[in-house]
């Protein structure tokens, strides 16, 4: 170091800007070459290091046993056995018995070992003699880059032709952190807090299901009387790009899961899933039935082949002594890093050719307009529009085998979907304020490097006649309806300005029986206000002794002149359903055969899990004019199946339309 280095500074900087910006950094006036990436391979373990972080994995399994950073020897839960610290795992079945399995490699391989990058692989290969094992090959990759505070992991999973049937229920990567270090959790700008300890759940009281525990004797007395439930911290996939924890060490350390893209997840932008929770646990869930049910289980038939690259996700570490008083500093820094990772997608560094690089991807553009009034076209503003494997209208929310590519339309309905892996897709969209699902008539064929201009597309949402009345807002959630405060026996954690914390509360379903102990909800069109008078979930009534009854809501409305020879339409959009059957009757509560029934639907469990939405259902119900009368009419909505407290539906939106035009 010294004079020569200083003299050549300009030259070197110029060179680095061109080619190796990562190699050198200016520290004051001295130029320092940063540490290179190293692999230290022992018999039973391998350590990747870059002078910032050391990550140790077991050989040949690929379990992450230690992460040292910021002067801390191991950020992972050292009280846990090595198998239970950092791992990929999967829940699967053969239609009956469920099994959980960690992805354990049976062979270890160094894929790349240079100054700037290490990439290692842990493979597991199925063969037909292992008939009791999961019929899936996996290749878990871990990547460390120079000058990068953290590491990447991705998985290549594959089934070959002729392999047996299997159902995959859940597939995720999990990190469990030191519980004495990490107390502060952050999953969004508003949802950040000091969390309970795992022991607080053990000393607490289990409530109506095992995930929900009343903290009766917590270590931190401020939390006494609160409920802990990992489902409080669920988030829509579209909103889950970074979450994690901040330690209370000096200096504080942040441990963050950054999910730079949605393409490898299932169920589209509105699929909800867990993030981080008491443990301290940090997850990235790629496949699950959460807030969706059985439809999101990947069902492979006998012989069905499959291949998918899942990830990479980035485990980001940061530290800042100023965060002692304000852990949000590390959250803000993690968000900055997340934006950088999102901008860098698709990554150029993963060595596997299965991970498709940017020059092998295509782009599509267009503008989506809505024709809902038959006179003027309006832009489909702030909608979600995306490519998913070919299917029926709305099928993207249940699709779980392929890749999906989603983006938000702008105020003019214009959209650009970048970085699409080549293939044949359908184009799907949902538009806030508009019912139903858009699907483009033609298949979209994306080839490497293609740039497709679709021009102006028009969505004609379901509509048969003029609006006579409507309840709610068509936005696929029940959030605009009346959401009660939780039962008084539970203390509520208060977040600043957080919309989600209104419904992410334990026991809201119980409040229906409190508010409507004998008579069910009645909504008078014209005088009732949906934000006050329409309960957010149509649930069963608790009549004591563990017994529940079905409930019938009434919508009362006036029609001056009914054309009894015409057909009317009730547009009924549901935001969630759990083992429910919703029956609809017009002006005759007693008619045995309902005028319409959904049949038994739903398994998203969004009522118990504070989801405010699960999967979306839209029913366009034809109403013969002779079922309606001049004057006062009543629609009876009966949720007919009542065996437990979590059953029911959430409405998204209801609209009565006049005679067919
Ligand atoms: C630490 O946080 C403070 C306050 O936000 C900021 O000014 C400073 O640049 C941060 N330091 C590092 C090393 O990021
Ligand atoms: C929006 O899309 C339309 C149709 O593709 C195009 O004509 C128009 O220029 C776009 N507007 C903007 C602001 O990009
Ligand atoms: C509660 O249910 C049990 C079992 O069905 C029955 O024996 C008991 O009489 C019921 N109690 C009340 C108060 O209804
Ligand atoms: C409703 O009132 C109009 C106008 O008075 C009348 O023509 C029509 O027959 C009535 N319809 C029914 C179903 O009674
Ligand atoms: C109303 O619907 C019925 C059955 O769907 C159909 O047969 C009839 O033609 C419709 N009537 C009108 C006026 O559209
Ligand atoms: C419609 O209403 C009129 C007047 O109330 C009645 O005479 C006629 O039979 C009704 N038609 C049908 C199809 O119900």
Q: By the 8 A CB rule, do 223 and 213 touch?
A: no
**Rounded alpha-carbon distances, angstroms, from residue 165 to 27, 104, 160:** 58, 21, 11
Looking at domain 467-657, which CATH architecture does it have?
A: Sandwich (2.60)
Share above pLDDT 70 across residues of the chain, in percent, rounded to a whole number:
95
Confidence (pLDDT) at 99:
76
CATH number of 38-343: 2.70.98.10
| Ligand 1 nearest atom to the CA of residue 320, by list position | 1
399-421 pLDDT, tens digit each: 999 999 999 999 999 999 999 99
Q: Mean pLDDT throughout 227-232? A: 98
Provide the token pair at 92: 């699967």
How many angstroms separate the alpha carbon of residue 55 from the centre of ligand 1? 25
Same fold, 38-343 and 467-657: no
Ligand nearest to C-alpha 547: 3
How many angstroms separate the alpha carbon of residue 300 from the centre of ligand 6? 54
Q: Is the pLDDT of residue 453 over 70?
A: yes
Q: Mean pLDDT throughout 475-492? A: 97
Protein residue with its CA nearest to atom 2 in ligand 5? 567
Ligand nearest to C-alpha 544: 3
User: Which 3 state secondary structure label does DSSP give 94?
Assistant: coil
Q: Greater confidence, 31 or 503?
A: 503
Angle at 512 between CA 511 and CA 514, to 5 degrees: 60
| Ligand 6 nearest atom to the CA of residue 564, by list position | 1
Rounded to the nearest angstrom, the gap between the alpha carbon of residue 483 and the centroid of all alpha carbons in its chain is: 22
pLDDT confidence tier of residue 95, bands split at 50, 70 and 90: low
Identify the sign of the CA torsion 536, 539, 543, 545: negative
Confidence (pLDDT) at 460:
96
Confidence (pLDDT) at 180:
96
Name 196's bridge partners. Answer: none
Confidence (pLDDT) at 163:
95
DSSP characters over 217-268: S-SSGGGTTBEE-GGGG-EEGGG-SEEEEEE-SSS-EEEEEE---STTSSS-
339-358 pLDDT, tens digit each: 999 999 999 999 999 999 99
How many angstroms separate the alpha carbon of residue 147 from the centre of ligand 1? 18
DSSP characters over 561-612: ---TTSEEEEEEEEEEEEEEEEEEEES-TT-SS-SEEEEEEEE--TTTTT-S
Task: Of 531, 622, 615, give the one whose Cα is nearest residue 574.
Answer: 615
Ligand nearest to C-alpha 369: 2
CB of 339 within 6 A of ligand 5: the answer is: no
Looking at domain 358-459, which CATH architecture does it have?
A: Sandwich (2.60)
Provide the token pair at 594: 């309902």
Confidence (pLDDT) at 465:
95
| Ligand 1 nearest atom to the CA of residue 323, by list position | 2
Q: Is the pLDDT of residue 481 over 90?
A: yes
In degrees and rounded to multiples of 5, residue 235 shows phi and psi of -150, 150
Q: By the 8 A CB rule, do 141 and 120 touch?
A: yes
**Rounded alpha-carbon distances, angstroms, from residue 326 to 70, 261, 320, 331, 495:** 18, 29, 10, 10, 16
Q: Mean pLDDT throughout 637-649? A: 97
Q: Mean pLDDT throughout 380-392? A: 98
Name 541's bridge partners. Answer: 549
Q: Is the pLDDT of residue 374 over 70?
A: no
Q: Mean pLDDT throughout 451-460? A: 98
Protein residue with its CA nearest to atom 4 in ligand 4? 561
Rounded Cα distance between 465 and 467, Å, is: 7
Confidence (pLDDT) at 31:
62
Share above pLDDT 90 across residues of the chain, in percent, rounded to a whole number:
90
pLDDT confidence tier of residue 5, bands split at 50, 70 and 90: very low
Q: Is the pLDDT of residue 24 over 90?
A: no
Q: Is the pLDDT of residue 7 over 60?
A: no
| Ligand 2 nearest atom to the CA of residue 454, by list position | 5
Residue from 379, 414, 454 whose mutation best tests the ligand 2 pocket (most atoms within 8 A of CB): 414
Confidence (pLDDT) at 22:
43
How many angstroms separate the alpha carbon of residue 365 from the centre of ligand 2? 9
Rounded Cα distance between 195 and 375, Å, is: 54
What are the extents of the domains in the chain?
38-343, 358-459, 467-657
| Ligand 2 nearest atom to the CA of residue 453, by list position | 5
Protein residue with its CA nearest to atom 6 in ligand 4? 561
Q: Is the pLDDT of residue 372 over 60?
A: yes
Provide the token pair at 320: 């800042």
127-171 pLDDT, tens digit each: 888 878 899 999 999 999 999 999 999 999 999 999 999 999 999
pLDDT confidence tier of residue 30, bands split at 50, 70 and 90: very low
Provide the token pair at 461: 């949402």
Task: Of 188, 179, 195, give the one whose Cα is nearest residue 277.
Answer: 195
Burial class (CB in 10 A: 0-12, 13-18, 19+), 272: buried
CB of 566 within 6 A of ligand 5: the answer is: yes
In angstroms, how far is the first alpha carbon of the chain from the final one? 83
How many angstroms separate the alpha carbon of residue 379 from the centre of ligand 2? 11
Q: Is the pLDDT of residue 613 over 50?
A: yes
Protein residue with its CA nearest to atom 1 in ligand 6? 564
Protein residue with its CA nearest to atom 5 in ligand 6? 564
170-210 pLDDT, tens digit each: 999 999 999 999 999 999 999 999 999 999 999 999 999 99
Q: Mean pLDDT throughout 18-24? A: 40
Q: Greater confidence, 456 or 26?
A: 456
Q: Is the pLDDT of residue 35 over 60?
A: yes
Name residues contacting ligand 2 (CB within 6 A). 366-367, 412, 414, 455-456
Protein residue with its CA nearest to atom 11 in ligand 6? 564
CB of 630 within 6 A of ligand 6: the answer is: no
How many angstroms separate the alpha carbon of residue 217 from the centre of ligand 5? 64
How many angstroms separate the alpha carbon of residue 630 from the centre of ligand 4? 6
315-333 pLDDT, tens digit each: 999 999 999 999 999 999 9
User: Which 3 state secondary structure label does DSSP give 109?
Assistant: strand
β-pairing, 45-49 vs 53-58, is antiparallel
pLDDT confidence tier of residue 224, bands split at 50, 70 and 90: very high
pLDDT confidence tier of residue 440, bands split at 50, 70 and 90: very high
Query: Whole-model pTM?
Result: 0.93
Rounded Cα distance between 116 and 35, Å, is: 9
- Mean pLDDT score across all residues of the chain: 94
Identify the sign of the CA torsion 158, 108, 349, 259: positive
Q: By the 8 A CB rule, do 182 and 242 touch?
A: no
């Amino acid at each position: 170091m010294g004079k020569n280095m200083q003299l050549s500074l300009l030259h070197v900087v110029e060179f680095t800007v061109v080619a190796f910006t990562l190699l050198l950094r200016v520290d004051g006036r001295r130029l320092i070459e940063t540490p290179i990436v190293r692999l230290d391979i022992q018999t039973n373990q391998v350590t990747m290091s870059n002078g910032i972080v050391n990550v140790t994995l077991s050989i040949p399994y690929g379990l992450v046993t230690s992460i040292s950073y910021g002067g801390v020897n191991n950020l992972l839960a050292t009280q846990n056995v090595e198998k239970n610290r950092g791992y990929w795992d999967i829940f699967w079945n053969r239609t009956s018995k469920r099994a959980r399995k960690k992805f354990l490699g049976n062979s270890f391989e160094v894929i790349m070992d240079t100054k700037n990058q290490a990439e290692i692989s842990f493979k597991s290969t199925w063969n037909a003699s292992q008939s009791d094992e999961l019929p899936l090959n996996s290749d878990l990759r871990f990547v460390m880059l120079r000058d990068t505070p953290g590491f990447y992991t991705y998985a290549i999973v594959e089934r070959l032709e002729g392999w047996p049937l299997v159902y995959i229920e859940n597939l995720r990567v999990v990190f469990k952190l030191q519980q004495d270090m990490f107390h502060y959790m952050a999953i969004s700008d508003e949802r950040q807090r000091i969390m309970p300890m795992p022991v607080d759940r053990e000393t607490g009281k289990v409530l109506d299901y095992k995930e929900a525990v009343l903290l009766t004797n917590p270590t931190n007395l401020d939390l006494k009387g609160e409920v802990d439930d990992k489902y409080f911290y669920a988030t829509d996939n579209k909103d889950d790009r970074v979450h994690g924890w901040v330690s209370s060490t000096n200096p504080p350390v942040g441990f963050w899961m950054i999910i730079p893209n949605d393409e490898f997840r299932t169920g589209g932008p509105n699929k909800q899933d867990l993030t981080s929770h008491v443990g301290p646990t940090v997850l990235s869930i790629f496949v699950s039935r959460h807030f969706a049910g059985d439809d999101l289980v990947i069902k492979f038939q006998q012989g069905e082949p499959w291949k998918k690259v899942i990830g990479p996700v980035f485990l980001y570490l940061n530290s800042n002594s100023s965060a002692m008083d304000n852990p949000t500093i590390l959250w803000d820094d993690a968000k900055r890093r997340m934006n950088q990772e999102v901008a860098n997608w698709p990554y150029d560094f993963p060595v596997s050719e299965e991970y498709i690089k940017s020059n092998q991807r295509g782009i599509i553009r267009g503008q989506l307009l809505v024709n809902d009034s038959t006179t003027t076209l309006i832009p489909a503003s702030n909608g979600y529009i995306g490519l998913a494997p070919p299917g029926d209208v709305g099928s993207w929310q249940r699709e779980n085998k392929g890749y999906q590519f989603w983006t938000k339309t702008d105020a003019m309905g214009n959209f650009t979907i970048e970085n699409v892996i080549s293939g044949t897709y359908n184009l799907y969209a949902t538009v806030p304020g508009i019912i139903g699902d858009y699907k483009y008539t033609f298949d979209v064929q994306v080839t490497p490097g293609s740039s497709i201009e679709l021009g102006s597309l028009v969505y004609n949402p379901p509509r048969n006649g003029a609006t006579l009345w409507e309840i709610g807002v068509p936005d696929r959630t029940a959030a605009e309806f009346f959401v009660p405060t939780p039962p008084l026996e539970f203390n509520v954690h208060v977040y600043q300005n957080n919309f989600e914390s209104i419904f992410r509360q334990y026991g809201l379903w119980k409040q229906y029986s409190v508010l409507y102990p004998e008579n069910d909800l009645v909504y008078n069109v014209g005088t009732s206000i949906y934000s006050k008078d329409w309960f957010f979930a149509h649930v069963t009534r608790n009549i004591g002794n563990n017994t529940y009854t079905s409930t019938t809501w009434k919508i009362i409305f006036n029609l001056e002149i009914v054309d009894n020879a015409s057909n009317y339409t009730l547009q009924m959009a549901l935001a969630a359903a759990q083992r429910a059957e919703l029956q609809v009757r017009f002006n005759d509560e007693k008619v045995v055969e309902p005028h319409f029934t959904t049949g038994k639907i739903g398994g998203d469990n969004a009522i118990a899990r504070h989801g405010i939405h699960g999967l979306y259902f839209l029913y366009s119900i034809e109403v013969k004019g002779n079922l309606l009368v001049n004057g006062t009419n009543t629609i009876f909505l009966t949720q007919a199946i009542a065996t437990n407290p979590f059953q029911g539906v959430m409405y998204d939106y209801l609209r009565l339309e006049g005679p067919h035009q």
